[in-house]
Structure 1
């Protein structure tokens, strides 16, 4: 048995329907109709198409004199390269004895790194940071400063990400290792609470803050690299309160729950208290893509009714409602603001 496919990885991947010993070490490509279910190619089209749409929009913004969108798009890839390999291959970094095997993705159309990293995940980071930033920018929040803008991004990321995060396991997009008590517990239904807080809100908000503060005139590439590399440090800091109670999952759940509640309260206050100006341009990406994303997620949820293990339906519903309210605020701004391409 290879080091990259230990007993835990073998059990999780077999549960998804494939053998982690039988993988291509660099890249694998398979027909979309051979995937585990029809929602998987739909997800790939949604995310990869969104990343391309976001890149086109970012280039337009850059040519118009605003480098933030383009810097954020590429900083997301830097962050991906920093954070993903240790999650997929903890044994490469000497972390297997500390964190153990965490989760595995199912097989998608295009996969990298021994079938651990789907192409749509590479695209997801750049698409998702752009989705949240564009919504918050269009609402005029960043005019109040980078910090308040990042707080709003934390909430927008939470409500849009969790409708995806909670539905992944029942549709077999990925599977968590249930025996990993260090990382995957406590959990809300089938989703680890650390994922909900650190990945869904803290990382994206910290990256956006860093990019907004660092991007500007001058050498853009070093600023992009710095933002992507520093983002995981924010996750470490945000994870300290719950780590104090490492041997008490109940206490950890309370701490993580309080931090999530703060994301909702602080982000909601920032968005609600921001004046709705009429001169902030609303891009085509902000006008259309977030609504399409939510629509596809809704279809996926309807297709998964009755499946198990399912994420928290109540929390996902709250996130759908929160995302809907954010979009309603955006469209009120759009009705008064000049539209851009």
Structure 2
């Protein structure tokens, strides 16, 4: 195998049900009905469809309203993916073996890239989840009222809720498996590393949103228009700078928690609590102001995100419902099939937050697309 098959990855692959030695080439296609279980094709269909629709919506919004923010967000998230993920998948190749090692392994899906390392749905989940979180915050007018930093923290908060619903279910359903003794993953919150709970669920989307709004979004809100070349270089910069932000934002935990997994985990959670506090304060105040009619923030509408967020929560509600019998029968955090379970109580909290966020964007005053060039809806995108 051209990419190599290190022992830790080989062991994880075997436990997931496939052979590392037989995971083929740069791209490989499989029969969806022949995957590990029925939840894998449901997951990838939900995520890939959402990402494609988000891209279509972003293109139509640029063409019809001259607003490139969604498109820059979509491609900025994808650029971020290709900066961050390869060193994680191939630490020996990128010289990160000593620090990162093999952190996890994805199961094989209908479409995989890079010798079984990168499922297509993982490429899609970055722009989809970023779009859902960013647009919920933008529809509430948080960026315009409270600025780039507070708006970015709110995006991290919303993204965290939607992402952790997925993150705590994956190991039980064999979507991926974590390396339990990898120092970078420690400590764990049940089956999920706390660094994933904080960095990948909240801090990376916060970093991305900050860059998108700083380099493009706030200028569009002010009426500025960008040329194609300007958008290209800004999108590349957004992907690169957002990647740097992922290393900078967790530095308190990384530096102060070097000698203790417990201390590192506590600092990670303290950072997350700060993000939560800022976001809850800003979003609740802005929602209340919009409802009372006391906010002067111009209305912005995105019915694609409104309804696809509902679909996402419905699909994951179904997936969690089917996983609950094995979850409740688990002994010492492991199902009868040998799969680790996530924190149901944490996920319930994330469901509550996600549902409240979606309810918030359904209950704020709206203007029609004809009356407000900044507004759009799903019917327009589908036309």
Q: Distance in 1 between matches of 2:135 and 2:362?
A: 13
Answer yes or no: is 1:282 the counterpart of 2:279. no
Query: CA offset at residue 234 of structure 1?
Result: 1.2
Q: Which residue in 1 is equivalent to 2:350? A: 319
Q: Distance in 1 between matches of 2:70 and 2:3?
A: 39
Given candidates 313, 329, 340, the residue that maps to 1:294 is: 313
Query: CA offset at residue 113 of structure 1?
Result: 0.2
Q: Which residue in 1 is equivalent to 2:159? A: 157
Q: Which residue in 1 is equivalent to 2:360? A: 329
After TM superposition, the structure 1 = structure 2 runs for residues 137-148 of structure 1, keeping only pairs within 5 Å, are: 137-144=138-145, 145-148=147-150
After TM superposition, the structure 1 = structure 2 runs for residues 172-183 of structure 1, keeping only pairs within 5 Å, are: 172-180=174-182, 182-183=183-184
- C-alpha contact 2:41 2:110 (8 A) present in aligned 1: yes
Q: Which residue in 2 is equivalent to 1:39? A: 39
Query: CA offset at residue 25 of structure 1?
Result: 2.1
- C-alpha contact 1:154 1:263 (8 A) present in aligned 2: yes
Answer yes or no: is 1:8 the counterpart of 2:8. yes
Moved more, 275-284 or 102-111: 275-284
Q: Distance in 1 between matches of 2:4 and 2:155?
A: 35
Q: Distance in 1 between matches of 2:366 and 2:242?
A: 35
Q: Which residue in 2 is equivalent to 1:126? A: 127
Structure-1-length-normalised TM-score:
0.95
- C-alpha contact 2:141 2:300 (8 A) present in aligned 1: no
After TM superposition, the structure 1 = structure 2 runs for residues 112-261 of structure 1, keeping only pairs within 5 Å, are: 112-144=113-145, 145-180=147-182, 182-215=183-216, 217-218=226-227, 219-243=230-254, 244-261=256-273
Q: Give deviations 1:26-71, integer Å, cap 9, x for gaps.
A: 1110010001111111111111110111011111221211111001
Q: Distance in 2 between matches of 1:201 and 1:290?
A: 17
- C-alpha contact 1:73 1:130 (8 A) present in aligned 2: yes
Query: CA offset at residue 337 of structure 1?
Result: 4.0
Higher alpha-carbon Rg? 2
Structure 2: runs of 5 or more not aligned: 220-225, 328-334, 370-375, 378-383
Equivalent position SS for 1:37: coil
Equivalent position SS for 2:267: helix
- C-alpha contact 1:2 1:21 (8 A) present in aligned 2: no
Structure-2-length-normalised TM-score:
0.85
Q: Distance in 1 between matches of 2:368 and 2:190?
A: 43
After superposition, the Cα gap between the structure-2 partners of 1:146 and 1:61, relative to the gap in structure 1 and judged at 3 Å, is farther
Query: CA offset at residue 336 of structure 1?
Result: 4.1
Q: Distance in 2 between matches of 1:3 and 1:210?
A: 33
Q: Distance in 2 between matches of 1:2 and 1:242?
A: 36
Task: Figure out how many residues of one structure are paired with residues of the other and give that number.
Answer: 339
Q: Give deviations 1:55-99, integer Å, cap 9, x for gaps.
A: 111112212111110011111111111001011111111111222
Root-mean-square deviation (CA), in Å? 1.6
- C-alpha contact 1:279 1:337 (8 A) present in aligned 2: no
Equivalent position SS for 1:179: coil
- C-alpha contact 1:3 1:91 (8 A) present in aligned 2: no
Q: Which residue in 1 is equivalent to 2:56? A: 56
Query: CA offset at residue 281 of structure 1?
Result: 3.1
Query: CA offset at residue 139 of structure 1?
Result: 1.0
Given candidates 314, 322, 325, the residue that maps to 1:303 is: 322
Structure 1: runs of 5 or more not aligned: none
